[in-house]
Amino acid sequence: MNLNFQQDFFEETAKKNPNKICVSYEGKNFKYSYLDKFSNKIANFLITNEIAPNDRICILTEKNINQYASVLGILKSGACWVPLSASFPNARISYLIKVLRPKFIISEKKYFTNFSSIFKTFNAKVLILDETKKTSNNTYNLSSLKKYKSDKPIMKYEVSPSDLAYIIFTSGSTGNPKGVMVTHKNTSTFLNLSKKLFKFEKGLRFSHFSDLTFDPSIFDLFVCWMNAGTLIPFNKRSYRINPYIYFKENKKIDVVFCIPSLINNLRENSNLEKKEIKQIKHLVLTGEAIPKNLIYDWYKHVKKSKVYNVYGTTETAIISHSYEIPKNIKKDQSIPVGKPLPFMRVILMTGNKFIPLAKKGEHYVYGPQISEGYWASPYLNKKYYINNPIDERFPQKIYKTGDILKIDSEGNYFYVGRSDNQVKVQGYRIEIEEIEHAISGIETVDQTKVVVDFDKKNSKKYIAAFISTKNHSLNQDKIIKILSNKLPRYMVPQKIIIINSDFPRNRNGKIDTNKLSRIKNGKEIRTNN
């Protein structure tokens, strides 16, 4: 297999299609030649500043041309890009910079202002892409790039397939996020396979829904660019409130990669009948269970589209299983996550034992898309990246996903549930323990239990936290404010149930979740939320 790196796919397209639009938003159109030259300047700047393979460069920007140029520029320099999010609280930004020790942070003026004290604490060098005035000794700006060439950079160091392409942090069970280290080999394997898997036409318009801190964004960016497409960022607050506005304002979107909840929102608001939706050609769903009859209703209105249900984790480089959903799908039909991609192998474990031809079990996977492990986390690496249980002579590590899967007679896998406390809410991977750890750190909190519940009215999952405390002044607003300074927005519980007594427990002394559920509904113990 030809192991072109991420940036190689882009550069090949830019060379063949310099005048084609590669990014479009808010009335602005950016050509492939522009993004190519902009990213070259960033790369040459980094190379001049002695950047080497595996050096970490953080990105903290809006979802815009600055962000895309930063990703490409870092890759072209040979370094490893690490996305940060403005939705992260100061504590999380501080922790990530502390453990990563990035050589540079590429940002924008407003975020530099918001997090300047953290950058200063760690003596971080910052490149501000929408600023022209120098603000301190460790800051560089757009003017700093002018002296650097827009020609293709010449790297000082050779980059190998085993070097890191990016690190993305996911929720962690120990109270801190864990950084997944993904190599050029991992991403190159997937991108090459995507050509055969999806067979997208050239020149399509791709949505970019996911935040850069979530790996579906790599699909959006690079699958788009390798197919000479145009990327349309989902970058307005109004879009999140009403997704249909995104499709209406951007006229024509051909490829959509998103969580089923977004499409279900369109269905529940009778938007599947709208012309902007009916012209979608490819719909790729991931991250959560598909609501009942959603695909049946989709094909009823969007008749010419193809729909895929895909499965994967950050640790498996975006997608490890895929299933093209047939148009003749029946009502109430269960939809599998599909078969493993070529070169990926699956083992189902039952009771910590590998059983050949098992029909159901904990999902282990190995192959060229398996990441290198977690950044600076030997304990987690030992726990989740294990030796091959089939043949100890096989050198490649196998990743323990923690998911329970089952397989049918046709070789398609179905998601069943989790073997641990990890959950997905609105497409975000969340470790319950991390939320509980943050709540336990609040003074006067005695006990806490975090659960995921389902809002039938809005057809959405949400996070609820039960808190036991004798402090009658501690209320929901105070707790949410505290947690907002500790956790990303998507991890802050939407509902807080405060109990001024101990949690109910069963005969074994464990928390009785059934009784807690009744408490939530106000039937057993009075709450003060």
In order, the DSSP letters of 452-513 are EEEETTTTEEEEEEEEEES-TT--HHHHHHHHHTTS-GGGS-SEEEEESSPPPB-TTS-B-H
Count of other CB atoms within 10 angstroms of residue 450 = 23
Which amino acid, one-letter code, is at 415?
Y
Q: Rounded to the nearest 5°, which phi and psi values hold at 271?
A: -100, -5
Cα 57 to Cα 167: distance, rounded to the nearest angstrom: 10
| 385: Cβ contacts below 8 Å, ≥ 6 apart | 370, 373, 397, 398, 399, 400
Q: Which pTM does this prediction carry?
A: 0.88
Least Cα distance to 308 among 293, 289, 330, 286 occurs for 286
CA 436 → CA 444, 463, 491, distances in Å?
14, 11, 11
**pLDDT recorded at residue 524:** 36
- What does the pLDDT profile of the chain (529 residues) look like in tens digits? 456 899 999 999 999 999 999 999 999 999 999 999 999 999 999 999 999 999 999 999 999 999 999 999 999 999 999 999 988 999 999 999 999 999 999 999 999 999 999 999 999 999 999 987 776 788 999 988 988 999 999 888 899 999 999 999 998 766 789 999 999 999 999 999 999 999 999 999 999 999 999 999 999 999 999 999 999 999 998 998 899 999 999 999 999 999 998 999 999 999 999 999 999 999 999 988 898 899 999 999 999 999 999 999 999 999 999 999 999 999 888 999 999 999 999 999 887 777 777 899 999 999 999 999 999 999 999 999 998 777 666 567 899 999 999 999 999 999 998 888 788 887 788 888 889 888 988 988 888 888 888 776 666 788 989 998 888 888 889 999 999 999 999 899 998 988 887 788 776 666 777 777 777 554 333 333 3
**Bridge partners, residue 363, by sequence:** 348
Which amino acid, one-letter code, is at 247?
F
* Angle formed at CA 137 by CA 134 and CA 143, multiple of 5 degrees: 30
Cα 14 to Cα 123: distance, rounded to the nearest angstrom: 36
Cα 97 to Cα 10: distance, rounded to the nearest angstrom: 29
Indicate the DSSP class of residue 527: B
Gyration radius of the chain over CA positions: 24
**Bridge partners, residue 469, by sequence:** 445
Which amino acid, one-letter code, is at 249?
E
Q: What is the largest CA-CA distance in the chain?
A: 72
Ranges of beta strands (E only) in 20-116 are 21-25, 28-31, 56-60, 80-83, 104-107
| 388: Cβ contacts below 8 Å, ≥ 6 apart | 366, 394, 396, 397, 398
Q: Taking the alpha carbons of 462, 418, 411, 183 in that order, is the dihedral positive or negative? A: positive
Indicate the DSSP class of residue 329: P
Residue written as token pair 């072109």:
4
Give, for 73, the enclosing helix (H) or strand (E): helix 65-77
Indicate the DSSP class of residue 169: E
- Domains with residue ranges and CATH for the chain: 6-235 (3.40.50.12780), 341-418 (2.30.38.10), 422-520 (3.30.300.30)
Q: Rounded to the nearest 5°, which phi and psi values hold at 169?
A: -90, 130
What's the length of the chain? 529
Indicate the DSSP class of residue 223: I
Cα 435 to Cα 457: distance, rounded to the nearest angstrom: 25
Cα 266 to Cα 273: distance, rounded to the nearest angstrom: 9
Q: Is 392 exposed, middle or buried (0-12, 13-18, 19+ CB in 10 A)?
A: exposed
Ranges of beta strands (E only) in 329-368 are 339-340, 345-350, 353-354, 360-366
- What token pair was written down for 362? 């904990």
Cα 475 to Cα 453: distance, rounded to the nearest angstrom: 20
Cα 506 to Cα 211: distance, rounded to the nearest angstrom: 41
Cα 184 to Cα 368: distance, rounded to the nearest angstrom: 10
- What token pair was written down for 198? 């999806």
Distance spanning both ends of the chain, measured CA to CA? 58
* Span 340-378, pLDDT tens digits: 999 999 999 887 777 777 899 999 999 999 999 999 999
Give, for 38, the enclosing helix (H) or strand (E): helix 32-48
- Would you call 195 helix, strand, or coil by DSSP? helix
Cα 147 to Cα 281: distance, rounded to the nearest angstrom: 43
Please report which residue ranges of 307-456 form alpha helices under DSSP H: 378-384, 432-440
Cα 50 to Cα 46: distance, rounded to the nearest angstrom: 7
